[in-house]
Amino acid sequence: MVTKHFVTFCSPGTFVPETTTKEIDSWNISKAIEMAQDIQERHGATPYSFSFSTRSNDGSRLDSAEVARSRNYFLGGEVLTLEQVEERRDPEDIVLLSNMRNRGLKRVLVNRNSWKTTLPLHDDDVVLQFEPKRAPEEKP
């Protein structure tokens, strides 16, 4: 049986996240944070999160199958509750508020590691302390 571990990094994309998956020795959060510093996608996008997976092949298949997946680890960001977004009374939050209410989201995460990205924050997600090596450029 062959078993390997991977870390998948998510960065802001045009319509869907840009992803980069790399092999890693184990589900080591510190190592993944270090690896994130060297990831850069199109248009200068850098990771806002990562997750681990384990793939295995017992020789009966042509390709391996995912046998385990971790929670999502966010690389810093600002956590906002529905109440905090409502209290801002910002007209630009109309779509965000609508999405949060319609999807039953209690919290979102705003990440500015590269491009500003606002994402749902689920109960099992983890927000890590993270300081990018290179300062993000001013982007909308």
Strand partners, 126: 73
- Whole domain around residue 34: which residue ranges? 2-128
Inform me whether the pLDDT recorded for 46 exceeds 70: yes
**Residue pLDDT, tens place only, 49-106:** 999 999 998 777 767 889 999 999 999 999 999 999 999 999 999 999 999 999 999 9
> Does the structure show a pLDDT above 70 at 135?
no
Q: Where are the beta strands (DSSP E) in 1-88?
A: 2-11, 18-24, 49-57, 65-69, 73-75, 78-81
- Written as six digits, the tokens of 92 are 């630009």
Residue 135, in any domain of the structure: no
The pTM assigned to this predicted structure is 0.88
Residue 107 lies in a domain: yes
Evaluate whether residue 140 is within a structural domain.
Answer: no
User: How many structural domains does the chain have?
Assistant: 1
Within-domain flag for 24: yes
Residue 137's pLDDT band (cuts 50, 70, 90): low
